Amino acid sequence: MTQELIDLRTCILEGRYADALAIVDELEGMSKQAILRNIQAYLRILLIHLIKNQLEQRLTNSWVTYIRNSIREIKKLNIKDNKTSYYINSDEWEKMIEEEVMEDAIADASEEVMNGQFTRSQLSAILNKNQILTIAKNFLALTYTYSPKELPGIMDDYLSQLAGGENWINRQK
């Protein structure tokens, strides 16, 4: 990015405004790609913990922390600087999850679910992907509706509905 900024400065100083605008467009594209990569990383973490929850039928404090943090960070990253539009609209999550994130999440979760008892392909075969997708989209939908202040309390309601969620919310082992 440093070279692009040097080139941008040179173009402006030399009055080559069309070239400068092309560099600005390139920088904007690079920025958007970096944001999307970060969103995907948090989305993968969310899916890993939803997969673990589904297959182990329990909910631990650390999983709750990862799920909550993932949603909170996705909310922060997804909103554009104008505060009125998003990098990923609410109707685009399913495609991103199915095409770009789910298989990586399954591969990573296979190392953790039941202490690595399943290979990636075994885990993929027994996993209810539609259920994971639905739960993930429900959590992601909250990011469009609730403020950062309201989100943790609302998320507790959703988390308590997951497998083992009642024990988690009541702090039972």
Q: Identify the CA nearest to 47 among candidates 157, 144, 166, 128.
A: 128
Domains of the chain by residue range: 2-169
Q: How many Cα atoms sit within 13 Å of 125 on the Cβ side?
A: 5
Please state the pTM of the whole predicted model: 0.86
Structure confidence at residue 29 (pLDDT):
65
> Two tokens at 165?
């969620």
**pLDDT per residue as tens digits for the range 13-26:** 888 878 778 777 77
**pLDDT per residue as tens digits for the range 74-91:** 999 999 888 889 999 999
Burial class of residue 156 in the structure, from the number of CB atoms within 10 Å of its CB (0-12 exposed, 13-18 middle, 19+ buried): middle
